Structure 1
Amino acid sequence: MQLIASTRSGDPAVIRLNPLDNVLIARQALVEGQHLDAEAITVRQAVPSGHKVATERVEQGQPLRRYGQIIGFASQVIEAGEHVHVHNVEMGDFARDYAFGVDARPTPASEAQFQGIVRADGRVATRNYIGILTSVNCSATVARAVADHFRRDIHPEALAAYPNIDGVVALTHGAGCAVDPGGEALGLLRRTLGGYAIHPNFAAVLIIGLGCETNQIESLLQTQQLQTSDQLRAFTIQGIGGTSKTIAAGIEQVKALLAEANRVKREPVSARHLVVGLQCGGSDGYSGITANPALGNAVDRLVAAGGTAILSETPEIYGAEHLLTRRAVSREVGEKLIARIHWWEDYCQRMNAALNNNPSAGNKAGGLTTILEKSLGAVAKAGSSNLVDVYQYAEAVRAKGLVFMDTPGYDPVSATGQVAGGANLIAFTTGRGSAYGCAPAPSIKLATNNRVFEHQLEDMDVNCGGIADGSTSIEERGAYIFEQMLRIASGERSKSEQHGYGQNEFVPWQIGAVT
């Protein structure tokens, strides 16, 4: 996508993204009666910043285009200069040409490095945590109590002698029992927990259970082909004999792990070891113009350096999936993506829901109107690289390059799946100011506009707002974001890490019946 601003009169008020578009994006709030010289239209009513204004009369039922793509259909006649938003736009069916692989191109090669932690088996970490996982919600309180004993903000002395340990974190959840023992829901939870248990950002992991739950630890380990060891320990409350005894035992086990976990050092490693999960949350009308394409530019740089980027949030590529299938390296890969789209269509029908239940209220307040519009901006995070594979939720990502993982659009659930799949860094764009972090993988927050960056400076790592006003470019921001990825992967702490985000944001996808 190329930014095409209204420049004939030098008016900075609006942005035209494509010659085919019949809407413009307001760079600033537009007022009734304001004349846009470059488009020869007069604004008919107030249009908030980031929202859309029609460039021509659009008849009822006719498509509205942004990025040169359909974002919805007029639910009533829309006159030139009118505010285009949820009050006069609706969803509709239209054909999409999947054109599998027609835009796939050779990937250029480059080199980049970061200071990583190389584990004994060759895996590379960006952080060095000790993790506490739970097999079931019933052991969550115990797990949290063990981790709290080592919190630096509560007990600074607990890890004072271990500066190379980033922390002890308890990642708890609300599932693990009252589900079909052979069903999809339990299998998905086990796959998620299994991915975290072997994540390179954990020096060691404890798994704590209750003892009588459906998700038996022995079965969890067996299905995920895991075995207990000094670095992977497991026990239950019922097995040890009660809450306080289990907390004490857990604390002692963590203490026994600290010295070895602290014996790490960072060393130069290739960026091919970097696996970045791509997220956008609290999106606005600028997301697809500024932060998302800038992140996409950084993704292209990462892929060229041999690294991996995981695009996700299947409901938020709905209506834009044809832009990805065109870049698939094979028809098989493209069809795997379409199969996930069809799964979601069926899932929503069964649940009496609609894929257009997104955008959220905040997204709409920021200028987004339909899921089609949001999706077209969301796929910009994927840059222009080839789509090399498609994975189900929390599957281990083996491929190098741009891949897709099927996840919900809800950010904590989506990112949890990405980290379970091996993401050791998260890049998260936001136009409304999402507050988010993701232990054990650090999260970089990218603001889509100047207002959010300045107003929520304590949460934002990168400002992409200058792309909209022309003070910077997608190329410049993309280069900066890629360098920021390398710095954060090398140990520099992101804003969300400084605030202590991460433990509460572990949210495995719960699917299926609870009985």
Structure 2
Amino acid sequence: MNLPNKNKKQEQPLYIKVNSKDNVAIIVNTGGLPGGTTFPCGLQLREHVPQGHKVALTDLAQGDAIIRYGEVIGYAVRPIAKGSWIDESLVTMPAAPGLDELPLGNRVPPMLPPLEGYTFEGYRNANGTVGTKNILGISASVQCVAGVLDYAVKKIKEEILPKYPNVDDVVALNHNYGCGVAINAPEAVVPIRTLQNLAVHPNFGGEIMVVGLGCEKLLPEQLVPGLDKTNILTLQEQQGFTNMVQAIMKMAEERLVKLNRRRRVTCPVSDLVVGLQCGGSDAFSGVTANPAVGYAADLLVRAGATVLFSEVTEVRDAIHLLTPRVVNEEVGRALIREMKYYDRYLDLGEVDRSANTAPGNKKGGLANIVEKALGSIAKSGSSPITEVLAPGEKPKRKGLIYAATPASDFICGTLQLASGIHVQVFTTGRGTPYGLAVAPVIKVSTRTALAEQWPDLIDVNAGTIATGEATIEEVGWEIFRLILDVASGRKKTWADHWGLYNALCLFNPGPVT
């Protein structure tokens, strides 16, 4: 990566060229640079180029490959002169990599040296799992009960929770499933598995409650198999709304008493499950925040943790760079299986992976999903991929794991929670106040300008990498240490500070009836 020296000031014109093969670079300076700007190397801009957008480093003929990250991200629509702004309208997208001839596990990275001496303070559960929060979770078995449950939770927080200072929160696990769906369809396994695994999240300490209606397809007993009936409340069996609310509150207080006895204890990092996600990505994502998160991911793996990266459409066009890293052919086949599954899913909707890229991504300099995917996979670091999870599955192995999810922030977050993440690290270039009630979300900005604009929403500024004020390694260590502090309750993320939490959003590829 060609980065400026640390002692250079940001006022000087700066660009980043990632790979020696690249024939484009992105502009670093906030606000972009005007035409006529000349760089120390002699490159002169022919026109204004916005921050994060690409400038041609050579003359390109029509049809020439446009190369970034050392990979072809598209082809020139028309001749492009050196020094010109290459916006998305000048780039045609290449075909997605074929899936049947990909190399599997032929370049498995060597395991990095173990990282010892790091721990965190967590809540040890009776089943051996560990929580990073102490929460009373109340799951709905069907969307019909959400209004009543929300009303009751509000009263619990106002009237009961203050008596139990060791409990962090009361969270309603509301969703739009449970009835009006083809409950026995093969694809129903995805939302049902997701809800089942959400209900046993380690941050709930084994004290989950279920509120059902009484006539839904997804029975409360099916939602949490083996759950004692004393943990289930059925609204159709109650005498009026007031009694419904009082019954929920009474059941909640009985469990708050137990949760209030939980105390943090020192736990090895191997008990930690960390999710990685990006949202509001821009052209800096793949050179600042995501590589720094990838470095932190490697540190976590070295310390024994489990790390999940996701978002199928945002790895699909870089899949040829991931299959060589799988530990064996079985894992490689599972990775290809999830790519093929999502290709079929998109085909049914009569769209392709290009539907992923949002207007904000393009304003941030990303020409297409190919460029976005190449930057997205930087979050995975350099460790071997040890396992692949279907949506909402729980991991069985440690290390770096690919957990297949849609790229939607809300669905990805929900599915990663179902897979058991304790903390999520979320990179953003355009900015989003996204958060999860069940697990803390550490927000990492790709640009200093965003961190300065949102100082009370961004937890880590990786934009310093672009200006040469910090290295990828330095920001990676900062993220790693912050993960342990947040997991231990020593520090709060801004999202937790403000209580900014998005609703759960299930992935339901099955029929709605």
TM-score range, shorter chain: over 0.9
User: Matched residues in 1 for 2:151 and 2:325: separation?
Assistant: 48
User: Matched residues in 2 for 1:165 and 1:63: separation?
Assistant: 56
User: Matched residues in 2 for 1:107 and 1:36: separation?
Assistant: 38
Secondary structure of 2:227's counterpart equals: coil
Secondary structure of 1:80's counterpart equals: coil
> What does residue range 284-303 of structure 1 map to in structure 2 within 5 Å?
284-303=282-301
**Alpha-carbon displacement from aligned partner over 1:401-448 (angstroms, at most 9, x marks no partner):** 000111110011001101101111111011111111112111111111
User: Matched residues in 2 for 1:425 and 1:320: separation?
Assistant: 25
User: Matched residues in 2 for 1:135 and 1:287: separation?
Assistant: 38
Secondary structure of 1:201's counterpart equals: helix
1:461 matched residue in structure 2: 459
Q: Quick check: 1:187 aligned with 2:189?
A: yes
- Pick one of 87, 107, 115 that aligns with 1:110: 115
**Alpha-carbon displacement from aligned partner over 1:100-133 (angstroms, at most 9, x marks no partner):** 2233112321121001110122111100000111
1:79 matched residue in structure 2: 81
**Alpha-carbon displacement from aligned partner over 1:247-294 (angstroms, at most 9, x marks no partner):** 110011001111111001111110011101101001111111111000
Secondary structure of 1:41's counterpart equals: coil
- Pick one of 391, 394, 397 that aligns with 1:396: 394
2:104 matched residue in structure 1: 100
1:59 matched residue in structure 2: 61
Paired residue type of 2:105:
G
Q: 1:341 to 1:3 in 2, by over 3 A?
A: farther
Deviation (angstroms), 1:95: 5.0
Structure 1: any 5+ residue segments left out of the alignment? none
- Pick one of 483, 486, 500 that aligns with 1:485: 483
User: Matched residues in 1 for 2:321 and 2:212: separation?
Assistant: 44
- Count of aligned positions: 502
Say whether the 8 Å CA contact 1:6–1:15 is kept in structure 2. no
Secondary structure of 2:88's counterpart equals: coil
Deviation (angstroms), 1:185: 4.3
Say whether the 8 Å CA contact 2:97–2:319 is kept in structure 1. no
**Alpha-carbon displacement from aligned partner over 1:186-229 (angstroms, at most 9, x marks no partner):** 322211111111111003211111111121223333xxx43226
Say whether the 8 Å CA contact 2:142–2:177 is kept in structure 1. yes
1:17 matched residue in structure 2: 18
User: Matched residues in 1 for 2:189 and 2:214: separation?
Assistant: 18
Say whether the 8 Å CA contact 1:437–1:501 is kept in structure 2. yes
Q: Quick check: 1:381 aligned with 2:385?
A: no
User: Matched residues in 1 for 2:175 and 2:139: separation?
Assistant: 9
User: Matched residues in 2 for 1:107 and 1:401: separation?
Assistant: 11
Say whether the 8 Å CA contact 1:164–1:264 is kept in structure 2. yes
Deviation (angstroms), 1:329: 0.4
Secondary structure of 1:18's counterpart equals: coil
2:277 matched residue in structure 1: 279
1:150 matched residue in structure 2: 156
1:443 matched residue in structure 2: 441
User: Matched residues in 1 for 2:107 and 2:246: separation?
Assistant: 58
Paired residue type of 2:131:
A
Say whether the 8 Å CA contact 1:314–1:406 is kept in structure 2. yes
Paired residue type of 1:310:
L
Secondary structure of 2:162's counterpart equals: coil
Say whether the 8 Å CA contact 2:96–2:317 is kept in structure 1. no
User: Matched residues in 2 for 1:165 and 1:95: separation?
Assistant: 49
Paired residue type of 1:102:
N
Deviation (angstroms), 1:12: 4.2
User: Matched residues in 1 for 2:240 and 2:429: separation?
Assistant: 47
Paired residue type of 1:106:
M
> Percent of aligned pairs with the same residue?
38
Secondary structure of 2:163's counterpart equals: coil
Q: 1:94 to 1:252 in 2, by over 3 A?
A: closer
User: Matched residues in 2 for 1:265 and 1:215: separation?
Assistant: 34
Deviation (angstroms), 1:499: 1.1
Say whether the 8 Å CA contact 1:20–1:65 is kept in structure 2. yes
TM-score by length of 2: 0.94
Deviation (angstroms), 1:384: 0.4
User: Matched residues in 2 for 1:6 and 1:26: separation?
Assistant: 16
Secondary structure of 2:412's counterpart equals: helix
Say whether the 8 Å CA contact 1:447–1:462 is kept in structure 2. yes
User: Matched residues in 2 for 1:443 and 1:64: separation?
Assistant: 35
1:499 matched residue in structure 2: 498
Deviation (angstroms), 1:76: 2.1
Say whether the 8 Å CA contact 1:57–1:78 is kept in structure 2. yes
Paired residue type of 2:474:
E
User: Matched residues in 1 for 2:398 and 2:97: separation?
Assistant: 31
Q: 1:12 to 1:100 in 2, by over 3 A?
A: farther
2:215 matched residue in structure 1: 212
User: Matched residues in 2 for 1:448 and 1:93: separation?
Assistant: 28
1:128 matched residue in structure 2: 134
Secondary structure of 1:42's counterpart equals: coil
Q: 1:94 to 1:441 in 2, by over 3 A?
A: closer
Deviation (angstroms), 1:319: 0.8
Say whether the 8 Å CA contact 1:16–1:25 is kept in structure 2. yes
Q: Quick check: 1:431 aligned with 2:426?
A: no
Larger CA deviation: 97-106 vs 67-76: 97-106
Deviation (angstroms), 1:336: 1.2
Deviation (angstroms), 1:146: 1.7
Q: Quick check: 1:473 aligned with 2:471?
A: yes
Q: 1:346 to 1:62 in 2, by over 3 A?
A: farther
Say whether the 8 Å CA contact 1:98–1:323 is kept in structure 2. no
Say whether the 8 Å CA contact 2:13–2:33 is kept in structure 1. no
Deviation (angstroms), 1:158: 2.5
Say whether the 8 Å CA contact 2:221–2:227 is kept in structure 1. no
1:344 matched residue in structure 2: 342
Q: 1:142 to 1:185 in 2, by over 3 A?
A: farther
